Chain A
Amino acid sequence: MDRKTKDASIFKDNLQNFLFVFPALSIFCIFYIYPFYKMINLSFYDWRGIGPMHWIGLSNYQELMGDHLWWDSIGHAGYITLIALTFQNMLAFALALACDREIRMKRFYRLVFFIPPVLSEVVVGLIWNWILNPEMQNGQHIGMLNHFLFTTGFPQLVHDWLGDPRTALTTIAIVHSWKGFGWGFIMLLAGLQTIDKQLYEAAKVDGAGSWKTFMNVTMPMMLPVILVVMILTILGSMQVFVLIIAMVNEGLVNHTDVPVTRIFSAMQNTNRFGYACAEAVIFGTVLIGISFISKKLSDKARQV
C-alpha cells in the first residue's frame, strides 16, 4: 500500500468515526451553542421581537442595575433556596439516617419519598393551589387546609397563604421542599450505604457514643455527597419557575417574582427581547459563579 492510499484510508476512517458524533454535534451546535451566543448578542439590542433592531450597547445592563424588581426577584429566589438548603436538606438527611439501618418497611419509605419528585411542577403546583384555596362559599372554607384549621379549633390560623405577600414566598418554598426532598434523600441514603460498617464498629470499640460517631465517622465520610446535594439544591431552587406560575398564576404579582418569571414576562408581556436576554445573561453568570465556587469547595473537600 503506498502512502497516498494509506492517507486516504485514514481520512476515510476518521470521517466515518466523526459521522457517529455528527447528529449529536449538529443538534448541540444549533440548539445550545447558537442560542448561547444569540442570548449574549441580543442583550446589546433594543428589540421587540419583530421589526428593526437597535444597537444600544450596555443600556440594557445599565437599566437592569437600577431595576429593583429584578434584584428583588433574585432575593426571592435566594430566600427559597435558603429554605430548601436548610429545611429540605435537613429533612432529607434525617430521613436518610432513619432509613440507613435494619428497619421494617425500608423499601416502602424509599418508594414513597420519591413520588413527589417524579410529579411535574404543574401538577404539584395546582394540587397545592387547590389545597391552599383561600375562598369561602356559604360560610365554609373551600380550601382543604383552611377548612381543616377552622374545624380543628385553630380559626385564627386560617389564612390566604398565597395571596398574602408575607406568607406567599414561604408557602412556595415549603411546597418546593415537599417536591424536592426525595432527591436529596435518595442520594444521601446511597451515600450512607457506602460507608464501611466496620468504621462504626471501630468507633463503638473506641467507646464513642452515637453523637461522637456521627460527627467523627458519618459526617466526614458524607461530606462529598452532602456538597453535591447542596449544589444541586442551589441550582434547582434558584431556577424555580413553573411551580410558581402554577401556584399563583392569576395573582402573579411582584412579591412572588423570581428571575425566570422576570425573564419570561420581559419577553412575553412587554416584548422586550433584548432586556430579557440581558437579564438571562446576568442570572446565568450568577449561577455559573455559584456552581464554580461550589465545585471548588467540593474538590477541596474530596482531597481532605
Chain B
Amino acid sequence: MKPNRYILWGMTKSTLIHIFLLSVTLTCLFPIFWMLRCALMTNETVFVDHSVIPHQLHFGNFAIAWTKGNFAVYFLNSVIYTVCVVTGIVLISSLAAYSLSRLKFPGKNIIFYMFVAAMMIPLPGSFVALFVLMTKLHLANTRFGYILCMINVGLSMSILLFKTFFDKMPQELEDAARIDGCGKLGIWWNMAMPFARPAIAVVVIFNSLNVWNEYILATLLLGDSNLMPLQRGIMVFQGANSTDYPVLMAGLTMAAVPIIMVYLFMQKHIVKGLSSGEVLG
C-alpha cells in the first residue's frame, strides 16, 4: 500500500499549498474589488447596503469625479508627465550609456561611478533642498520643473541598465554601421537602440510606474491644481470631500486601472527586469 499513501500525501500537500496560495490571492484582490464595488454605489447606499455585490450599480460617480472632482485635469496631467519624463529618460540615459559603454573620453569612469554611487546612496530628505533650488530657479509650480526633477529620479538606474546592454553589443555591428557611413549619433539610433530593445522595455515600464505613482515631489513643487497629477489630486479631493467615499473610490479606480492594465500587458518584462537583478544594481 506504500505508493497509495504517497499519492494521498502528495494530494493533501498540493491541496494545502493551493489553499495557502488562494487565501493570499484573495487578500490581494479583495481591497481592489472593494474599491470597485464602492465606486459603483451612491452616497446613501454605501453606508447601508452591506452586500458583497450591491443591489444597484450606479455609474454616475465616475462622471462626478471626472468633472466636478477635477479628475479630467489630473488625469491628463499624469499622462503628460509620464510620457514626457519617460521619453526624456530613455533618450538622455541611453545617449549617456552609449557613450560610457562604447566611446572614449577622459573622466569617463569617474562619471560612471558617480551615477552608480547615486543609486546606492539613499537621499530621503533631499526634497527640502530641491524645493529651495526649484523656487530659486523659478521652476517651482511649472510642468517643466517637475518633469526635470522626475527625469533625474530615474536617470541612474536607466543608465546602468542601458550600459549593461550596450556592453554586450558585438563590435561587428558597430563596424558594419560605420562602414555604411553612420556617424556616432547614427550608430546610437540605428544600431544600439534596436539592440537594447529589451532594456528600453524595462526602463519604460519601471519609470512609467514610478512617475504615475509619484507623490512627494508633486506635492512640494505643484501648488496649482491645474498642474497636479492624479496622486496629488486625489489627496486634494480627499481633503475637501472626506466623506464622499463613492466618488473618492471612483477617483482611485481611475488612478489604479491604467497602471494595472499596463502591468497585465507588460508583466513579462517586469518579471524579467526584476529577475535579472539589473534593476537592483
Binding site for B on A (CB under 8 A): 13-18, 20-21, 23-25, 27-28, 30-32, 34-36, 38-39, 42, 49, 91, 94-95, 98-99, 103-105, 108-116, 118-124, 126-128, 130-131, 137-138, 140, 142, 144, 147, 151, 178, 183, 186-187, 190, 228, 232, 235, 238-239, 241-242, 245-246, 249-250, 259-260, 263-264, 267, 273, 276-277, 279-281, 283-284, 287-288, 291, 295
Closest B residue to A266 by CB, please name it: B128
Bound-state CA distance A263–B219 (Å) is: 14
Chain A contacts for B29, CB-based, 8 A = 112, 115
What are the 7 A-B residue pairs with the smallest beta carbon separation, nearest first?
Answer: A280-B125, A20-B99, A190-B275, A120-B213, A24-B96, A31-B152, A35-B129
Q: Known contacts A21-B99, A127-B32, A187-B275; decide if A122 and B231 are in contact (CB<8 Å).
A: yes
Q: Which of B62-70, B173-181, B196-204, B237-245 interfaces with chain A? A: B237-245
Give the chain A neighbours of B159 by CB distance below 8 A: 24
- B residues within 8 A CB of A137? 47
B47 and A283 contact, CB distance less than 8 A: no
What's the A-B contact tally at a CB cutoff of 8 Å? 251
In Å, the complex CA distance between A267 and B216 comes to 13
How far, in angstroms, from A235 to B271 measured CA to CA in the complex?
Answer: 21
A217 to B46, alpha carbons, bound, how many Å? 53
The answer to whether B151 has its CB under 8 Å from any CB of chain A is yes
Which residues on the B side are within 8 Å of A144 (C-beta)?
34
The A contact surface, by secondary structure, is helix
How far apart sit A18 and B25, CA to CA, in the bound complex (Å)? 50
**Does A123 lie within 8 Å of B256, measured CB to CB?**
yes
Contacts of B47 in A (CB 8 A): 137-138, 140, 142
Task: Given A17-B99, A94-B20, A186-B275, verify A35-B242 contact (CB < 8 Å).
Answer: no
> In this complex, what residue of B is CB-closest to A108?
B25
Known A27-B148, A32-B152, A120-B213; 16 more pairs at CB < 8 Å: A13-B105, A14-B106, A17-B103, A20-B99, A21-B95, A24-B95, A28-B156, A105-B18, A114-B267, A122-B234, A126-B234, A144-B34, A187-B277, A239-B122, A249-B239, A287-B122
